[in-house]
Amino acid sequence: METAAVTGRELEAGVTGSVRLGIASGPRWRHVWALLRRFTRERPGVEVSMVEAYGGTLWHELRERRLDAVVAPAGHGSPDLKALELGSEGWVALIGSGHRLAAAGPIAATDLDGERIAVTGHRDDAALDAAVTQLLADLDVVAAHTRGLPGPPLYAAVAENEVIALTTMPDDVPPGVIARTLHPRRTLDFELLWRNEAPSAAVAALISAAARPTRMSVRSLAAVA
């Protein structure tokens, strides 16, 4: 009985428990790994599981209660979800080292005119594809959209000079690929999403940890307390 009582108090306090976190593939909020390292140090008794997939896939998993929270580019929200604005990352162009646009330093947006730009074309990544389309429209760039898979297959296509990928700075730039920032600079916003209900103590602790570093703005975070 004493053990059960202690376990119950620890669950209520968020000292133990579990968090199932989805991380959208493709563009990445660069602080996500630092956040998880800090959270697991502060809450060593909380078991964290991670799933990486298309943002739309994670959105469905979150709403179906198979995930507790999701980190993804903005655009995946819905009325039954709450969101914490995490910040923004600058768009970069990934270009093959043998491509005519391979060079050091920023790339002028006008240089992308007529190029083949990678999109997934997958219904579960529609929000990201829309963000790429909007980015090109904002930059007044006319380019051809080329469908392809994310991750290693995309990097291989870029390295072989088949496409240019618009994304955020990858954790590691793959061999044969050059990352060039866009000029003029444009950014992509990121959010932490969770269901519009009282989260478990462990999930609430993760949300609070994500909100701390830079006094990020929160929508409806009061319900977490």
Dump pLDDT digits (tens) for 165-192.
999 999 899 999 999 999 999 999 999 9
- What was the pLDDT predicted at 12? 53
Domains and CATH numbers, the chain: 2-87+189-224 (3.40.190.10), 89-187 (3.40.190.10)
- What was the pLDDT predicted at 194? 98
- Report residue 149's pLDDT band, with 50, 70 and 90 as the boundaries: confident
- What was the pLDDT predicted at 56? 97
- Report residue 213's pLDDT band, with 50, 70 and 90 as the boundaries: low
- What was the pLDDT predicted at 2? 55
Between CA 194 and CA 97 the distance in angstroms is: 40
* Cβ within 8 Å of residue 47, ≥6 positions away: 17, 18, 19
- What was the pLDDT predicted at 11? 46
Between CA 161 and CA 189 the distance in angstroms is: 28
Average pLDDT in the chain: 90
pLDDT in tens, 22-63: 999 999 999 999 999 999 999 999 999 999 999 999 999 999
Q: Does residue 87 register a pLDDT over 60?
A: yes
- Report residue 212's pLDDT band, with 50, 70 and 90 as the boundaries: confident
CA dihedral 32, 108, 129, 156 (to 10 degrees): -80
Q: Does residue 223 register a pLDDT over 70?
A: no
Q: What is the DSSP string of 156-176?
A: HHHHTTS-BEEEEPPSSPPTT
In this prediction the pTM is 0.86
Between CA 93 and CA 161 the distance in angstroms is: 13
